[in-house]
Structure 1
Amino acid sequence: MKVFSWIYTGWCAFWFLLIFLLLFPIVFIALQREEWKPVAHYCNRIWGKTFFFLVGMPIKVTYEVELDNKKAYVFCANHFSYLDIAMMGVVIRNFFAFMGKSSAKNIPLFGYMFAKLHIQVDRADKNSRIKALTRSIKALKSGRSIMIFPEGGILSTGIPEMAQPFKDGAFSMAIENQVPIVPISLLDNYKAMPDKLISWHRLRVIIHKPIETIGKTKSDIDALKKQVYEIIQPTLNQYKD
């Protein structure tokens, strides 16, 4: 019944905000210097893990191969739910930066954290896209991974079918830095949170094998997009029920 979804959503919102507020003083301090930012990132990881534990939603993560936690990757996942963002800090062990919508900066406190720790992009503004891509390439060169939703947002009108075509950004930056692309299948988030209400659900994630980009050029972008799609989409189809 919808009334239970409202109650559970309120319960989730309470813990989401409380944990964030408790950790924010440490995050704020850690964001003041570049070399302290991994501490802020670790606090976000604690935030996500604690949140999912306290609301009683277990997460099962399947790794097709063990990744190097100190290596830079471009992580690409399907994006059907607002839970996806909170999930990433739990399942990705590497120090990474999100590339996300600039509208997040308008959220009190969270917007400050996002702007300082991650990479904002206004997809309607060409200059913003260029700046975001430049910052992402710089982050990869420094050894920091990038997390991006290649659909460009929650755009699918036929979930669990991903929106097509993918944006070029993730693939362009991976080629530019010759770093692997790691596809991620988020199998159940849209079942738990298909819109603004949350319902309890067990959550499963598959971290797929990296796709190497060494030797590839910009002419390979379309082929890489197809390769990532053909890894994630059949997985989503397999687990849709």
Structure 2
Amino acid sequence: MVLLRRIYSIYGLIIFTLSFLILLPFFIITIEVPNWHKYGRRLNQVWAKIFFNLIFIRVKIENKEILKSNKQYVIVANHFSYLDIPVIGLISRDAIFVGKSSLGRLPLFGYMFRKLHIAVDRSSFRSRGETLRRTKEVIEKGFNIIIFPEGGIRTTQPPTMAAFKDGAFHIAQEKQIPVIPVTLSYNHLILPDDKKFLLNHKSVKVVIHPPLEVKNESKDAIAKVRDECFKTIQNQLWKDNGKPISQKGQRTQKSSTPGV
């Protein structure tokens, strides 16, 4: 069984790499031509579709009709797996990721990510401040924003999430944009964050939940939406995966930390 998973994982890595290299010249064009970055982000979506089709993984997106093409959103999702970025990239063509700076240091892929999305070094106060500034700028240009509010893959017990940071919800409040909670139900089973990099063949499930709005400028309003967002995603995760015995009866969101 492990041998088959290893073969499948090597095949998946080859498909991921080759498909990116084939599309790389087109990424470069969309990056270097002024005002073409939006086409590069749409190309991200095309790349993700090609990848999942060629590794024979079905992606099921529930409630996609919630996302209206004429509206802006701050999209937030749980983050358990390296598979989360290509999966959530499928739900919106005009969305900019806020992701960790290490992605921007990867060969070739890092060049594309830095140019088309926003990389943040969460250990640097200056970087976090610059990220918030750039995020607000791209929102003003009409794009959606995708943020993993756990601040990276931080939980050690998926499907139980780590506490959410406040950054995404501060941005939603300041710009008066609804927050869309998104649950990535099974990515931690398909590609676990266990340093083995072994793929499992299982369908991807994405659940898009109704928008939540930060209706006033108080800190309590931010906390309320943050906690409701956390509860919505966590309950869906437990519904799809089963609730761990150690978590029954416990509060879902115990604390928060600043930043994005």
TM-score range normalised by the length of the shorter chain: over 0.9
One of 166, 182, 185 as aligned partner of 1:184: 182
CA distance in 1, matches of 2:220, 2:140: 21
State the Cα distance separating 1:94 from its structure 2 match: 3.9
Match of 1:58 in 2: 58
C-alpha spacing 1:70/1:32, structure 2 compared with 1 (3 Å): farther
Instruction: Please list, as runs of the form range in 1=range in 2, the aligned pairs for 1:1-241 lying within 5 A after superposition.
Output: 1-63=1-63, 65-90=65-90, 92-164=91-163, 166-195=164-193, 196-240=197-241
3-state SS of the aligned residue for 1:31? helix
State the Cα distance separating 1:64 from its structure 2 match: 6.7
CA distance in 1, matches of 2:214, 2:139: 14
3-state SS of the aligned residue for 2:97? strand
CA distance in 2, matches of 1:34, 1:72: 23
State the Cα distance separating 1:221 from its structure 2 match: 1.9
State the Cα distance separating 1:33 from its structure 2 match: 3.9
3-state SS of the aligned residue for 1:82? coil
3-state SS of the aligned residue for 2:210? coil
CA distance in 1, matches of 2:64, 2:58: 19
Cα RMSD (Å): 1.3
CA distance in 2, matches of 1:240, 1:62: 16
Q: What is the TM-score when the length of structure 1 is the normalising length?
A: 0.95
| 8 Å Cα contact 1:175/1:217 also seen in 2 | no
3-state SS of the aligned residue for 2:51? helix
Percent identical across equivalent pairs? 40
CA distance in 1, matches of 2:208, 2:23: 28
Q: What is the TM-score when the length of structure 2 is the normalising length?
A: 0.88
CA distance in 1, matches of 2:45, 2:138: 19
CA distance in 2, matches of 1:214, 1:65: 23
| 8 Å Cα contact 1:184/1:205 also seen in 2 | yes
| 8 Å Cα contact 1:105/1:115 also seen in 2 | yes
CA distance in 1, matches of 2:2, 2:224: 43
Where does the alignment leave 5 or more consecutive residues of structure 1 unmatched? none
| 8 Å Cα contact 1:65/1:209 also seen in 2 | no
Equivalent AA in structure 2 for residue 43 of structure 1: L
C-alpha spacing 1:33/1:103, structure 2 compared with 1 (3 Å): same
CA distance in 1, matches of 2:155, 2:55: 27
CA distance in 1, matches of 2:205, 2:119: 27
3-state SS of the aligned residue for 2:183? strand
- What number of residue pairs does the alignment pair up? 239
Equivalent AA in structure 2 for residue 100 of structure 1: G
3-state SS of the aligned residue for 2:241? coil
Runs of 4+ residues deviating >3 angstroms: 214-219
3-state SS of the aligned residue for 1:35? coil
CA distance in 1, matches of 2:139, 2:215: 14
CA distance in 1, matches of 2:34, 2:116: 9
Deviation digits for residues 98-131 of structure 1 (CA, Å, limit 9, x no counterpart): 0011111211111111111101111110000000
C-alpha spacing 1:179/1:24, structure 2 compared with 1 (3 Å): same
Comparing 152-161 with 217-226, greater Cα deviation is found at 217-226
| 8 Å Cα contact 1:70/1:94 also seen in 2 | no
